Every structure is written in structure tokens, then in C-alpha cells.
Amino acid sequence: MDDLKLIPIINKFSACRSKTLELIKSLHEEDTVVQSVNFVSPLKWHLGHTTWFFENFILLQYDKNFQVYNEGFSYIFNSYYNVFGDFNKQENRGLLNRPLLSEILEYRKFIDLKMMELLEKKSFEKDINFLINLGINHEQQHQELILMDIKHIFFSNPLKPAYLKKIEDNFIIDSKSKNEWTLKTKKNVVIGADSDDFCFDNELPSFEIIIHPFILSEYITNGDWMNFMEEGGYTNYEYWLSDGWDFINKNKIQRPMYWIDNNYCFDLSGINKIDKNLPVSHITYYEANAFANYAKKRIPSEYEIEIVLKKNRKDGNFLENQIFREVSYKNECFSSSFSGNLWIWSSSNYNPYKGYKPIKMKANEYNSKFMCNQFVLKGGSFATPKDHIRPSYRNFYYPSDRWQFSGIRLVEDL
């Protein structure tokens, strides 16, 4: 690998690692220990796990002189990789009062130093280059998870503390503008990653499919959702899938997650009045599907969303904007954007594409083992780094999940 190709990956690695620390720099050590529920991880665990990833997938495989930093760390910072042996269950991560946050930060410094030494070497193979990019993209996923988990941890505190100061936007909203997209005639389109750039294995292989004419709506807003609620959205079983109806009744769900009541909600800046113009967020697939039935439309397929993303520039509300919440795409900055802001639920099951082959290396558990009972989300969110996302990117969650930054657009067939 020549120097011109080597420099960007060094810079990208360094920037990624620094960004993670930037996200937690305003927090206290006590903030990093809490695990509010089983699906949330303590923030200091994220710091350790992303470091463990580079240590085990790269340094131990490609640095002959490297020695394990701490034998016990593999058990507590391994997430789900059976190839590396037993690991601490996710629901027990909140019991880790030790190692201290300061010890984890020292661990990060040590691994960063060893990684930089490795990255400065001139001899690179295709496999290690892929794994370095995988490690960077893996940490970017955890940057978003950190913000998701911070929000739940702070919301779970009775004092409802704020992660950051309220950000007042000065966006000019054009109520007549419609952030929607239309495919007027059926087309043959390529789905999946179609370049030599990095992508996850679940985006391959690419293939052609016929897409029929449709209109992708603008975001469903909080105001739309209030109308849904007022018109019996959560009490009329006719809108709901059987599993969804059981889920909302069992868990007594009557409104989107983080809505305190019908007037106030919680976000990363604390308690705020619900803005009817903003996209509704933190909804399950079940809720999205019920709203689609209520609106007499449907949730788009992942293919329909992907073609919209490929036909439009990637210029939405991403982590780099540092807005840290969803915004209206009727504003002057994002009126022509279809990426970022909120992940969009699709109606597509998270299954492998025909001809799919998982990564052959030790990272083959990264995606393939989760291809069951989940739905694909597309487009990224305000917590997603811009250089992390692509139109072919396939995020995935269970239909009952809603702590992720998720929203909804609907489709009308033409």
C-alpha cells in the first residue's frame, strides 16, 4: 500500500477514536457505569468493547510481538463472538464496577498506540485493510449506540438530566414544501453495494430488481401521531398486527418512547415541549405498521428506500451537524434531503441476499447470525457519522425495538 492510500486510513482511525471520547467528555464517571435496562450497555463498556475489537481482530492476528493487555478483558468486553470463547452476558454489564473508567481509558491509549504503530507499516494485505475499516465502522456504530444509551440512561433517572444544553435552531420552515420523492415509471435498479469501497457483507452481492412507481412520503410528524392517538390508534385492534397488539397491551404502550405525556417529551437536552412539526421518533415497527394501516398506505420496502437514497445526495442531518436530535426536513437546510435525521423502518425482513457469503475471517459472526426475525432500517440518523452510511447500508432491529433513533415515511403506489 502506498503512502497516499495509507494516510487516509490512519487519519480515519485516529478521528474515529477521538470522536468516541468527545461524545463522553462532558460526562462524569458515574454516568458511564449505569445500565438502565438489558438492551442498554454502560457507556464505559462501549469504550472497552470497541478497543477489545481492535485488539482481538487486528493486533493479535497481525502483530507478532503483541501481547494481550489484560486476560480478563476478553471475557467482559466480548459482545457475542463465540470464536473468542465465553463472554459476559449483556444483562450483566451493569455489574462491572471494575475496571474503573480510568483503567479503560488507559486500555484505549495502549491499544491506540499499538494500532498506530501497525498502521505506520508499509506492508498491508487485503484482509487486514478490510478489518481495519471494519473496526472503524464498528466503532462508528457504537458512537450512535452511545448516544442511544445515554438518552435512555438519563431518561431513566427521575431527575431527567440533560446530556447537552438546549440547541436552538433557526431553521426557516416552509409549510408548503413537501420532502417527498416520486418514481413515475417502473425501473430496473441495482440493489446492494456496487463499488470497491468498504461495505458490510450483508450489502452483497448486488443484484437487479424491478421497482414499480411509488411516492415516498415526507416524515410522519408528531402532529400526525397525535391525530393517530386521538382517533384511537392505540386502542383499535384493527390497525395492529397480532404480535404488535399483544406487545403494546402487555407493555401498556400508549405513545412513542420518551413522550412523558401528550405535551412533553425527553431528548438529549432534557425535557422539552413536543414540537408537532418534527418527525415522530422512537417508534417500533409495530407502531409504524399500525400507523400505515390507519393512513391507508404502507411501509416502504428497503429496495424502495434504497433507490431514493441512490437518486439523492447524502446531505442530511448527521452526527457532524451536532444537532443531536431530529429536525424537520421542511426547513431550508434539508428540504431536499432523504438521508440522516432518523432511520426509516422498511417492510423488508432482514434476510441474506441471494448468493450471500459471510466474511470468511473471524468476524463472520458480525452480521450473519442475526438474520432472523428482524426488519431492515435505512438511511441513517442524526447520530450516524456521515462517512459511515451508504444507500446500500442495512441496519436491523426487532419489530419491538424503539430506543434507536427511528422514524417513519410511508409509500403510496401509483
Query: Does 392 map to a domain?
Result: yes
Query: Does 306 map to a domain?
Result: yes
Query: Does 163 map to a domain?
Result: no
Tens digits of residue pLDDT in 244-286: 999 999 999 999 999 999 999 999 999 999 999 999 999 999 9
Q: Residue 140 is part of a domain; what is its CATH number?
A: 1.20.120
What is the tally of structural domains in the chain? 2
Residues 349 and 279 in one domain: yes
Rounded Cα–Cα distance for residues 370 and 351 (Å): 9
Q: Residue 231, Cα to own-chain centre: how many angstroms?
A: 31
Query: Does 344 map to a domain?
Result: yes
Among 112, 141, 156, the domain-final residue is 156
Q: What is the pLDDT of residue 4?
A: 43
pTM of the full structure: 0.96
Residues 86 and 218 in one domain: no
Q: What is the pLDDT of residue 123?
A: 60
Residues 281 and 349 in one domain: yes
Q: In the chain, which residues have pLDDT < 50? A: 1-4
Question: 313-327: b or e for each residue (b if 16 or more CB lie within 10 Å)?
Answer: ebebbbbeeebbbbb
Grid cell digits, residue 21 = 471520547
Query: Does 169 map to a domain?
Result: no
Residues 348 and 247 in one domain: yes
Residues 149 and 189 in one domain: no
Q: Residue 268 is part of a domain; what is its CATH number?
A: 3.90.1580.10
Q: What is the largest CA-CA distance in the chain?
A: 66
Query: Does 98 map to a domain?
Result: yes
Q: What is the pLDDT of residue 122?
A: 56
Peptide bond preceding 358 in cis form (omega within 30 of 0): no
Q: What is the pLDDT of residue 2?
A: 41
Among 123, 139, 156, the domain-final residue is 156
Residues 409 and 374 in one domain: yes
Q: Is residue 236 classed exposed, middle or buried when 0-12, 13-18 and 19+ CB atoms within 10 A define those classes?
A: middle
Residues 389 and 314 in one domain: yes
Range of the domain at 135: 3-156
Query: Does 35 map to a domain?
Result: yes
Residues 227 and 345 in one domain: yes
